[in-house]
Structure 1
Amino acid sequence: MHRRRRTALVLSAAIATAVPFLAACGSEAHPGAAAVVGGRRITVAQLETRVNEVRQAQRAAVPDDQQYQQVLAATSSLTRDTLHNMVLDQVLHRAAQDNGISVTRKEIQQMRTGLAQQAGGSAALQNAWLQKYGIAPKRLDDNLRLQLEAQKLAKQLGTDTTQPAFWKALSKASKELHVDLNPRYGAWDVEKSSRVDAKTPWVREVSSSGTQATA
């Protein structure tokens, strides 16, 4: 970990597998839904659109056919990972709202500028997020909003993103939203607080002025 404490979030397997609140559902109740969060469906079509955004960006970044096949093999769980991130994004946003937290466009731009300087430019930042976290360039600002919400939430709770108080707030938000996950894309074992049959990056501590930490 970098010598300075970081509180912003990016995608990380270590924290995702500790989330205790998502459960599998019967997809028949919501035909065409990949998940239902707060009564709203995340449709299979919406999920596929997000996945295609990443695949198109990956292809543009790796024009060599052989190398691109290696990228596909390395990100074979992209669909499930993407859905998981879409759900957790809404859960965290709800937790932030419950605690009176908001993020401004200016704050997002400030974080983006700092990270771009660290990465060596805007294009390098977009490529880093694409390669490491499966975030398409057009979704980068959305992801940075997520990071800032998590950072502010942890600070308000007087904790950090690794502590029970932070996850208790997310658990509360998840229960309010009645998250319903289509088992086609995996499931959550509530008792074991882990996802079945998936490796999902979600949070990794970062700083707009330092290097990224190791999960």
Structure 2
Amino acid sequence: MHRRRRPALLLTAAIAAAAPLLTACGGDAHPGAAAVVGDQRITVSQLENRVDEVRAAQRAAVPDDTQYQQVVARTGTLTRDTLHGMVLDQVLHRAAQDAGVTVTRKETQAMRAGLQEQAGGAKQLETAWLQQYGVAPARLDENLRLQLEAQKLAESLGTDTSRPEFWQALSKASAKLDVDLNPRYGTWDVQKSSRVNAETPWVREITAAGSQKTA
């Protein structure tokens, strides 16, 4: 992820709260793991489940087969984007912990209420987050909590989420967590706190919709 200006309420279009993680064991990081973040693993099955949630929500929102396939085509990098978001969530949370930043449920609820009013209702907000940011409705509250965490972290640093100082804090957290991605999903750039595609054009990704494409 590059250090360019982002919408005020969004750290990243793919950010979503991390799924429950399994404790890593032994020195073999990748069998069954999409990524290892600190002493925790994001398993391939957890990643696939997260992608399935988005695809199911997209399917429910777009019942027409042709239109749904167009949605899938437009979001063909969903698996990698989702993993990026799951890892970045952990990095952000570590940076926030280091800075003594916390977010309460009341703050998250207040943010959601304000956004729902702007969007015209709860359903409209869920649809907007799904279409624009790939966040399934069931993950919306978790996502908003992370947006608040990012904002409060930036405030504690005397900056905002578009500035280098904020991303430097994430870079430090990335280094502490020693993020390690399964090579099929690329590598993690510590300086930018971002996933980078590996130079492996032979790798193929199967989407949750069952379509296959070159990575």
Same fold (TM over 0.5): yes
> SS at the partner of 1:124?
helix
Contact 1:10 1:143 in 2 (8 A): no
Contact 2:179 2:188 in 1 (8 A): no
TM-score w.r.t. the length of structure 1 is 0.78
> SS at the partner of 2:160?
coil
CA distance in 2, matches of 1:68, 1:145: 29
Contact 1:108 1:145 in 2 (8 A): yes
| One-letter amino acid matched to 1:115 | L
Once the two structures are superposed, the pairs formed by residues 106-117 of structure 1 within 5 Å of their partners are: 106-117=106-117
Q: CA 1:138–1:194 in structure 2 vs 1: closer, same or farther (change >3 Å)? A: closer
**Cα offsets for 1:94-149 (capped at 9, x unmatched):** 10111111000000000000001111100000000000110000000111011001
TM-score w.r.t. the length of structure 2 is 0.78
Once the two structures are superposed, the pairs formed by residues 202-213 of structure 1 within 5 Å of their partners are: none
**Cα offsets for 1:175-215 (capped at 9, x unmatched):** 111111111112245688864339xxxxxxxxxxxxxxxxx
CA distance in 1, matches of 2:182, 2:121: 39
> SS at the partner of 2:172?
helix
Contact 2:103 2:149 in 1 (8 A): yes
Q: CA 1:128–1:29 in structure 2 vs 1: closer, same or farther (change >3 Å)? A: same
> SS at the partner of 2:34?
strand
Relative contact order, higher structure (CA 8 A, sep 6+): 1
In structure 1, the partner of 2:63 is 63
Contact 2:88 2:193 in 1 (8 A): no
Aligned-pair identity (%) = 73
In structure 2, the partner of 1:158 is 158
Q: CA 1:193–1:179 in structure 2 vs 1: closer, same or farther (change >3 Å)? A: closer
Contact 2:167 2:193 in 1 (8 A): no
> SS at the partner of 1:34?
strand
Give ranges in structure 1 of 5+ residues lacking alignment: 1-5, 14-26, 199-215
**Cα offsets for 1:16-57 (capped at 9, x unmatched):** xxxxxxxxxxx9643100000111100000000000000000
| One-letter amino acid matched to 1:30 | H
In structure 2, the partner of 1:131 is 131
In structure 1, the partner of 2:187 is 187
Comparing 155-164 and 124-133, the one that deviates more: 155-164
Verify: 1:81 aligned to 2:81, yes or no.
yes
| One-letter amino acid matched to 1:182 | N
Displacement after TM superposition at 1:174 (Å)? 1.0
| One-letter amino acid matched to 1:186 | G
| One-letter amino acid matched to 1:99 | A
Give ranges in structure 2 of 5+ residues lacking alignment: 1-6, 15-26, 199-215
| One-letter amino acid matched to 1:9 | L
In structure 2, the partner of 1:11 is 12
